[in-house]
């Protein structure tokens, strides 16, 4: 009855008003449905009806293969790190051996070059 009166009143109105009323009615319906859905969802959560069943998933995952792959990955990273540290140590040792007798060239005020050895203990 109320809806029929509203429709009759809108028949002579401009299209903008009809669109506004239709949008408001659609929004109202969506809001009401959302409220009822939230209430239903909360009721299910409180009653414990939302059980998670992971039996099928756990049967599909082979835990031993996952653990084996994890060990393989860790071993590979450890091996790579060890190689990197050994290369770093070797390059640092090579640089240390090469820098003990460092030659320094100093330019004096007269424009000439003065070479001297800056080795330790000399």
pLDDT digits (tens, 9 = 90+) for 37-63: 999 988 888 887 666 666 666 666 777
Task: Enumerate the domain spans of the chain.
Answer: 1-50, 67-99
Per the CB < 8 A criterion, the answer to whether 118 and 104 are in contact is yes
pTM for this prediction: 0.36
- Dist. CA 29–CA 35, nearest whole Å: 10
Predicted confidence (pLDDT) at residue 26 exceeds the cutoff of 90? yes
Rounded distance between C-alpha atoms, residue 41 and residue 47, angstroms: 10
pLDDT band at 79 (very low <50, low <70, confident <90, very high): confident
> Residue by residue, what is the 3-state secondary structure of 41-86?
HHHHHHHCCCCCCCHHHHHHCCHHHHHHHHHHHHHHHHHHHHHHHH
Which long-range contacts (C-beta less than 8 Å, at least 24 apart) are formed by 15-18?
none
Best CA proximity match to 99, nearest among 121, 122, 120: 120
Q: 108 Cβ partners below 8 Å, 6+ apart?
A: 114
CB 17 within 8 A of CB 24: no
pLDDT of residue 58: 61
Which residue bears the tokens 């770093």?
88
pLDDT score at 122:
47
């Amino acid at each position: 009855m109320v809806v029929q009166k509203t429709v009759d009143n809108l028949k002579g109105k401009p299209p903008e008003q009809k669109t506004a009323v239709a949008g408001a009615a659609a929004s109202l319906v969506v809001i009401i449905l959302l409220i009822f859905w939230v209430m239903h969802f909360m009721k299910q959560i409180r009653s414990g009806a939302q059980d998670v069943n992971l039996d099928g998933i756990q049967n599909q995952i082979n835990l031993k293969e996952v653990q084996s792959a994890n060990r393989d990955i860790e071993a590979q990273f450890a091996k790579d790190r060890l190689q990197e540290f050994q290369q770093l140590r070797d390059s640092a040792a090579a640089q240390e051996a090469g820098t003990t007798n460092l030659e320094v060239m100093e330019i004096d005020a007269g424009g000439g070059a003065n070479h001297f050895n800056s080795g330790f203990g000399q």
